[in-house]
Amino acid sequence: MQRIKCIIAYDGSQFSGYQIQPNKRTVQGELEKALMKLHKGEMTKVYASGRTDAGVHAKGQVIHFDSALSIPAERWAVALNSLLPDEIAIFEVEQVEPSFHARFDVEAKEYRYFVYTGKLRDPFQRNFAYHYPYPLNLQAMQEASECLIGTHDFTSFCSAKTEVEDRIREIREIEIVETDGRLMFRFVGNGFLYNMVRIMVGTLLQVGSGDISPQEIPAILEKKDRTYAGKTAPPQGLYLWQVYYEKKL
Amino acid sequence: MQRIKCIIAYDGSQFSGYQIQPNKRTVQGELEKALMKLHKGEMTKVYASGRTDAGVHAKGQVIHFDSALSIPAERWAVALNSLLPDEIAIFEVEQVEPSFHARFDVEAKEYRYFVYTGKLRDPFQRNFAYHYPYPLNLQAMQEASECLIGTHDFTSFCSAKTEVEDRIREIREIEIVETDGRLMFRFVGNGFLYNMVRIMVGTLLQVGSGDISPQEIPAILEKKDRTYAGKTAPPQGLYLWQVYYEKKL
């Protein structure tokens, strides 16, 4: 048995999210279908660093699986890509120690969120950025983002449906930059709760619009109640950008 | 009656081309459906600068139509965009002389074609660029492109199905540039025959790969036979970029 780690990218717009679900087209479903073909009908379970929701993209999702096939690492990408739909690409494959686990060994993750701020809609960005054509105060957003950096209980910034008990997470970096007509939000943290990035972005956009002042952020965190934070930004702007397994930060 | 000229953009990936066809989703079909809603069920025919094939995009397609509605030019875009699918955007509207015709008055057109040359496929470019992961000799391609500039009979570079008799066209500019992992082909000409840009790109890629030498291009033009030119590049890399109505070139 070999444990295989892959870095994959996918365009999430036509998937019902990462995680396998009956009668839905999912990234995990497509990966396991491809592996089943390679393994002559035998099921191979795939483990990812975490799920992504419907419409959310990945530039650097990490998965692992075990295989008895003796394919050299560099051939795995070619074999899998030929069996996968064009919306998923395997771009790095590595044989790892059997103790490696794509989810449990995560040290940190980077998410990016793109907002298209042009006045008129852009058909080419509809699945890849959130169209928010309103004036934004970038400085206020940056001030607010600084209040989110650090170790906090993020209950106010996760879906009310979150079942995880421990909502304390450490956000190490938040960067907000303007790049050719788009706003890029970059988040690095040791872990993210359900909808956490999208709620932080939605809240920061409301700060940028003047609905919420940067000074309110610490109080919103204090409340530990989802209803105090801003809206959940839509999925199409979100990308799981990179997963870190060693403390590189 | 007002004659309205619009500049529109569309992501062609989910359309069966520009031109209306029964039981197919087309750009013209969506435009006329939106106009029918605005005109309380009355049919309004839309005229475009030309068709685009299934999968081909537009950044600056031009259309015109006539309307008895007294909507100021700046409100037309808002009204139409609200009735159109996200894949189509009206981004400039102007009331024009009743003698203006989106197709007959064309002075020149600009097309661009994007080739993604990365080794591994990129899920985010699958509908927006042609993936050609082979080494290319850019200088040979540029040499070959110079032989296509000028006024020629382009019979060898149009689909064998072309019904137009006069295949003489003037290509004013061809530019091939490398920009962040992509190759961009830019064509400006007074008119383009059916599949002409895609056949020129397909041929230039074969020049870049060494299958065809730049010196063969004049002979291929001379033959006036489609079978002598290279392959037809796929639609997803092609964009109708701009339509010129005055001699600006």
Tokens of A210: 């003047």
Task: Note whether A77 contacts B11, CB cutoff 8 Å.
Answer: no
Q: Does residue B70 lie in a domain region?
A: yes
Tell me how far apart the alpha carbons of residues A29 and A45 are, in angstroms, rounded to a whole number: 10
pLDDT in tens, A203-240: 999 999 999 999 999 999 999 999 999 999 999 999 99
Tell me how far apart the alpha carbons of residues A209 and A137 are, in angstroms, rounded to a whole number: 7
Tell me how far apart the alpha carbons of residues B135 and B40 are, in angstroms, rounded to a whole number: 56
Same domain, B148 and B78: no
Asked whether the beta carbons of B119 and B133 are under 8 A apart, the reply is: yes
Q: Does residue A30 lie in a domain region?
A: yes
Q: Which of residues 30-89 of A touch B (CB under 8 A)?
A: 57, 77, 81, 86-89
- Residue of A13, A82, A87, A120 to mutate when probing chain B, most B C-beta within 10 A: A120
Same domain, A90 and A24: yes
Query: Which of B2-11, B145-154, B174-183 bottoms out in mean pLDDT, i.e. has the lowest?
Result: B174-183
Structural domain ending residue among the three candidates A96, A128, A146: A96
The whole-number pLDDT of residue B247 equals 56
The mean pLDDT value for A57-85 works out to 95
Structural domain ending residue among the three candidates B62, B96, B130: B96
Same domain, B118 and B81: no
- What letter does residue A18 receive in the DSSP assignment? S
Contacts of A89 in chain B (CB under 8 A): 120-123
Same domain, B129 and B238: yes
Same domain, B28 and B146: no
Same domain, A125 and A184: yes
Asked whether the beta carbons of A199 and A217 are under 8 A apart, the reply is: no
Task: Note whether A87 contacts B128, CB cutoff 8 Å.
Answer: no
CB atoms within 10 A of CB A159: 14
Is it the case that residue B249 has pLDDT exceeding 60?
no
Query: With bands split at pLDDT 50, 70 and 90, how would you rate the model's confidence at B248?
Result: very low
SS3 B244: strand
CB atoms within 10 A of CB B40: 7
Q: Does residue B36 lie in a domain region?
A: yes
Asked whether the beta carbons of B25 and B54 are under 8 A apart, the reply is: no
pLDDT in tens, B52-76: 999 999 999 999 999 999 999 889 9
Same domain, B115 and B92: no
pLDDT in tens, A110-161: 999 999 999 889 999 999 999 999 999 999 999 999 999 999 999 999 999 8
Tokens of A236: 């199409």
Structural domain ending residue among the three candidates B68, B96, B124: B96
Q: Which of A18, A17, A154, A13 is nearest to A86 (CA)?
A: A13
Tell me how far apart the alpha carbons of residues B129 and B106 are, in angstroms, rounded to a whole number: 26
Residue B21 sits in a domain of what CATH number?
Answer: 3.30.70.580
Query: Which of A71-75, A174-178, B144-148, B231-235 bottoms out in mean pLDDT, i.e. has the lowest?
Result: A71-75
Q: Does residue A120 lie in a domain region?
A: yes
Residues 6+ apart with CB under 8 A from B130: B113, B114, B115, B116, B201, B233, B234, B236, B237
- Chain B: nearest CA to A33, how far in angstroms? 18
Tokens 């996760």 sit on residue: A158
The mean pLDDT value for B218-229 works out to 97
Burial bucket for residue A52 (CB in 10 Å: 0-12, 13-18, 19+): buried
Task: Note whether A126 contacts B88, CB cutoff 8 Å.
Answer: no
Same domain, A73 and A159: no
Same domain, B66 and B15: yes
Is the torsion defined by CA of B33, B35, B36, B40 positive or negative?
positive
Same domain, B16 and B118: no
Same domain, B24 and B142: no
Count up the domains in chain A and report the number.
2
Q: Does residue B37 lie in a domain region?
A: yes
Tokens of A97: 């120690």
Q: Does residue A57 lie in a domain region?
A: yes
* Distance from the Cα of residue A178 to its chain's centroid: 20
Residue B153 sits in a domain of what CATH number?
Answer: 3.30.70.660
Is it the case that residue A248 has pLDDT exceeding 90?
no
Q: Does residue B102 lie in a domain region?
A: no
Is it the case that residue A195 has pLDDT exceeding 70?
yes
- How far lies B114's CA from each of B16, B176, B204, B229, in Å? 20, 10, 13, 20
- How far lies B202's CA from each of A35, B132, B156, B220, B238, in Å? 34, 11, 13, 14, 12
Q: Is A116 annotated as a binding residue?
A: no
Same domain, A167 and A216: yes
Tokens of B69: 């509605």
Tell me how far apart the alpha carbons of residues A245 and B14 are, in angstroms, rounded to a whole number: 39
SS3 A171: strand
Q: Does residue A102 lie in a domain region?
A: no
- Domain containing A87 equals 2-96
Tell me how far apart the alpha carbons of residues A241 and A58 are, in angstroms, rounded to a whole number: 6
